[in-house]
Amino acid sequence: MKPAYDLLVVGAGFAGAVLAERFARVLNQRVLVIDRRPHLGGNAYDCHDSAGVLIHPYGPHYFRTSSAMVWAYLSVFTTWQHVDYRILSYTDGALWQFPINLNTFEQFIGRPATSEEMRTTLSKWRIPIEQPKNSEELILSRVGRELYEKFFRNYTLKQWGLDPKDLDPTVCGRIPIRVNRDNRYLTERFQALPQEGYTPLFQRLLDHPNIEVRLGVSFQNPDHGITYKRLVYTGPVDAYYNYRFGVLPYRSLRFETETLEQEFYQPVVQVNYPNNFEFTRIIEAKHITGQKLPRTTIIREYPQAFTLDREAYYPIPNPAAHAQFAQYARMMAAEKDVSFVGRLATYRYYNMDQVVASALAEFTRLTGIRPAFSRG
């Protein structure tokens, strides 16, 4: 029997949507996209709540990239609102500039200072560790014990459910330490949000006559009756192999939403709470969406243990998890007509632009065709 589709894409997030668009538009192939959720976009999905506030229900999604290719590709499907993402950290009864920079240092020592003084002081505070083996050693080697305890240790412990000494250096290494007054959270060349939101971006990506989308459909359901030539799988890789080597460790999240009858609740989009309260941060998306409303919605984020009935958000970055995934990776490498793409399928802590780049790279690997961008 002839397959009904050339390509089945499991997952309507960035990885799946990009590959569906490329196969449909460039190769003129018949593509079916399925997702177990009732909406497009995966964790990047956004929507207006009952108060009319545009929110990110699965946590904040700060798009940024230094890749001109990724930027050009997504710009075909959206216009952008350029944003500087700013974050503060609440500890010891005060709001502190974060990531740590010269402004943070001045607040810490209680007087004005220079970049050179900050460099000199940090060199005295640092604990000399030539090759940090974990996140604790990395931060101690960069800022010393006191700033580590103030901003990093308990936040990381809450976020991951593990002590920083039990996590790869890359976990805390993602956060810059600056000796200037750059208050931006991120430094990538392009920093923006889709002007109308992420969901319209996904709608445009998948708006092609060769693409069919079915939501609320699970790939694990043997009765879906779908026939296809090739599979793009973006779901959890351990689920694909029916947990042959056990459930991979993840960290999950719970969100508490509150709408307030005031224009803003906090001074920036994100305030971290490293040492007090059970939640790790409060997000107020209005600071970056540009909405003009007399009310606002805040979202408190509570990390929690992962179970199979909860969403998997963050792969656990430590040696034991890497070794367990390596068993699945050997099976993945033997697949001929399956592409594993995205954070869950490759068990990597990807940013959104990295997911898009990996999907574009997979299309090129399979076809030899490099992306060309137009609205045609």
For 285-320, what is each residue's pLDDT tens digit?
999 999 999 999 999 999 999 999 999 999 999 999
Check whether 7 has a pLDDT greater than 50: yes
Are the CB atoms for 96 and 206 separated by under 8 Å? no
pLDDT given at position 371? 75
In this prediction, residues 342-363 reach a mean pLDDT of: 97
Q: What average pLDDT is seen over the chain?
A: 95
pLDDT given at position 9? 98
At 376, is the pLDDT very low, low, confident or very high (cuts 50, 70, 90)? very low
pLDDT given at position 370? 85
Are the CB atoms for 171 and 164 separated by under 8 Å? yes
At 1, is the pLDDT very low, low, confident or very high (cuts 50, 70, 90)? low
In this prediction, residues 101-123 reach a mean pLDDT of: 98
pLDDT given at position 3? 80
In this prediction, residues 159-168 reach a mean pLDDT of: 96
**Residue ranges per domain, the chain?**
5-82+193-249+310-367, 87-173
Distances (CA, A) of 319 to 136, 236, 371: 15, 19, 35
Check whether 374 has a pLDDT greater than 60: no
pLDDT given at position 290? 92
Nearest to 239 by CA among 337, 305, 304, 306: 306
pLDDT given at position 222? 62
Class of domain 5-82+193-249+310-367: alpha beta
Nearest to 283 by CA among 96, 101, 92, 61: 61
pTM of the model: 0.94
b or e along 88-113 (b: 16 or more beta carbons within 10 Å of the residue's beta carbon)? bbbbeeeebbbbbbbbbbbebeeeeb
At 49, is the pLDDT very low, low, confident or very high (cuts 50, 70, 90)? very high
At 375, is the pLDDT very low, low, confident or very high (cuts 50, 70, 90)? very low
Q: Kindly state the percentage of the chain with pLDDT values over 70.
A: 97
In this prediction, residues 81-91 reach a mean pLDDT of: 95
Phi, psi of 73, rounded to the nearest 5 degrees: -65, -55
In this prediction, residues 263-271 reach a mean pLDDT of: 98
pLDDT tens digits for 214-258?
999 999 866 667 899 999 999 999 999 999 999 999 999 999 999
At 180, is the pLDDT very low, low, confident or very high (cuts 50, 70, 90)? very high
Residues 6+ apart with CB under 8 A from 220: 239
3-class secondary-structure state, position 247: coil
